[in-house]
A = this chain, B = another copy of it.
Amino acid sequence: MAKKILIIGAVALGPKVACRLRRLDPNAEITLLDKDNIISYGGCGIPYYVGGDINDLEDLYSTSAHVLRDTDFFTHCKGITVRTQVEAIAIDRTAQTVTIRDLTCGSEEVLPYDKLVLATGATPIRPPVPGCDLPQVFTLANLHEAEKIKSLMTSGKIGRAAVIGGGAIGVEISEAMTDLWGIETSLIEMEDQILPTLLGKCIARIVKSHLEEKGVRVLIDEKVKEITETGTRGCRVETSNNIIEADIVILATGVRPSTGLAAEAGLALGSTGGILVDRRLRTSDKNIYAGGDCVELRNLVSGENMLMALGSLANRQGRIIATNIHGGNSHFDGTVGTFCMKVFDLGLGKAGLTYRQAKETGFDPVYAVISQADHAHFYPQSELLYISLIADRRSRKILGIEAAGKHGEAVKARVDTVAVLLRHGVTVDEICEMEAGYAPPFASAMDAVNNAGNALDNILAGLNVPIDAHDFLNRFRLGTSKVLDTRGEKEAAPFIDKYGDRWLNIPQNELRRRIEEIPRDEELYLMCDTGPRSYEAQVVLTTKGITNTLNIQGGFAMVRMTDPEFI
């Protein structure tokens, strides 16, 4: 008899399971259920639809051959039964049935299953802030909400926006509003940096500076206290430090796995609140699989379980679930948290743990930050890459990488190569020797990633005694310490004008013969354009017994990206 497969949830994971399973098993009776009437859409495209990069909502639920992925498509093209606008309200694990309710008429029905797949996704979190339910306050839960927001934009009624939450969605939607619509946008984050779960402070500061350069007002370290209505259609967001007037408020304070159905059926949930699954993506009931945003995953670097709502993970898990339902033995081992995004003209990416996460997990993290051209420096149109590479001091194991730069694809190339190695537990040495493709239009002979590894190797060896641009700026602002600038006189001149005798300049090629000019009694920050010359200067000075120096990682390039006002 044909196997009955029931899949609850028809976005990303659900359709992937259904389509793959149909290809593996021509006879299975496969039914996809969803509460919504629009299914199988690319939710990650929502910010680009709101921002106008994508014009038609339908593009988000069409195939690459421009065919709508609707009920008809699944029925005729894929041979899969789809039932939309139905809600699964209970699972009877003993009887192997699911009770569903038709949301258009309220009638209920009981569907049997041999294997059940939970692809229930996640729900936006509405923080317990008064006013979160005002009509001006939106989440980006689904395409309907996206459509409402976009129609407000196109109507021209929105002049000012407040986005609450500086995570990926908050940053993307801030760009969408500012870029095409010219809306005065304030992005509010309660942590002391944006993208706090994704980036360490150095790369996060680059992103913040870039957002500000593009006109987004970024408020960090600010808690939203209340949202109130003003006049006919405006509202006011009160934070711990500010009052922001806005015509629209977007809540981007994260999502929570939708696990009600699973919990009521007695399936095990994990410590982070997601459904617990094994490597085969089975729940605690061997006839029920789960994947996508509703499950928790093993972080392969920290070893701890985590939530990671990402369409790419969902799709890959969907394939694995289908293989396993069909009797195969396919594994999803976990994630190293690889991530990338575009923020205006900047691409950024990360994998593994941030410094803070590494510390919290019990590692002894140490990191290098470098600035380097993404192409051979003699090849035109190169852009700087900013890379932070983190390792554990004791084991030399790589824990994470973060990067940003104007050539987004070049950033992605660097992050991804380290990302895929993370699960192999590689050390700094393998990054130094890493063999990525080299040609002048695409890389330097010593690639930026290799150099990030080299810098970290030198730091671990005690040859390079670093300070990052963020810490340097904080300390320099306190007022006494000096900078030794090893660039040419012309480059240093405006800095000497601004900072006077706190700014010493000895060009690199004069350093060996002008050692006597260097003060030995106070802390000295060494700076060049991007870092290599100040590192070399530090080595020379150490040799001469001058050890009161800190080498500014990534040089002036990194300082400027961290604080564009520095000069």
Of the four ranges (under 10, 10 to 19, 20 to 34, 35 or more), the interface on chain A belongs to 35 or more
Complex CA–CA separation, A316 to B415 (angstroms): 19
Set of chain B residues within 8 Å of A77, measured between Cβ atoms: 508-509
Q: Which among A244-252, A262-270, A529-537 touches the partner chain?
A: A529-537
- Residues of the B chain whose Cβ atoms lie less than 8 Å from the Cβ of A376: 42, 44-45
A373 within 8 A of B: yes
A12 touches B416 (CB 8 A): no
Cα A311 to Cα B378 in complex, Å, equals: 14
B319 near A432 with CB under 8 A, answer yes
Contact B316 A79 (CB under 8 A): no
Which residues of chain A from 420 to 467 have a CB within 8 Å of any chain B CB? 420-421, 423-424, 429, 432-443, 445-447, 450, 454, 463
User: A413: which of B42, B314, B416 is its contact (CB, 8 Å)?
Assistant: B416
A26 contacts chain B at the CB level, 8 A cutoff: yes
Nearest opposing residue in chain B for A316, CB measure? B433
CA of A339 to CA of B438 in the docked complex: distance in angstroms?
6
The interface centre, meaning the residue of A64, A347, A415 with most chain B CB atoms within 10 A of its CB, is A64
Stretch in A116-124, A149-157, A203-211, A330-338 touching the partner = A330-338
A412 CB within 8 Å of chain B: yes
Contact for A445 among B23, B312, B508, CB less than 8 A: B312
Q: Give Cα A379 to B60, complex, Å.
A: 9
Q: Does A523 contact B (CB under 8 A)?
A: no
B536 touches A378 (CB 8 A): no
Q: Is A543 an interface residue (CB 8 A)?
A: yes
Cβ-based interface call for A340 (8 A): yes
Query: Which of B48, B312, B407, B439 contacts A379 (CB under 8 A)?
Result: B48
Task: Quote the shortest CB–CB distance from A182 to chain B (angstroms).
Answer: 20
Contact between A340 and B437 (Cβ–Cβ < 8 Å)? yes
A42 touches B445 (CB 8 A): yes
Contact with B along A48-68 (1 / 0, CB 8 A): 100001100001101111010
A23 partner, pick from B44, B424, B463, B513, beta carbons under 8 A: B463
Residue contact B435 to A419, C-beta cutoff 8 Å? yes
Q: Tell me, yes or no, whether A126 is within 8 Å of chain B by CB.
A: no
Pick from B314, B409, B423, B528: contact of A410, CB under 8 Å: B409
State whether the Cβ of A351 lies closer than 8 Å to any Cβ in chain B: yes
A393 within 8 A of B: no
Closest B residue by C-beta to A377:
B64
Report the Cα distance A95→B168, complex, angstroms. 65
| Interface residue A341 (Cβ < 8 Å from any Cβ of B) | yes
Shortest Cβ distance from A433 into chain B, in angstroms?
A: 6
Q: Assuming A310-B438, A336-B435, what are 9 further A-B pairs, CB within 8 angstroms?
A: A53-B379, A65-B487, A79-B512, A320-B433, A331-B433, A339-B437, A409-B410, A417-B419, A421-B424
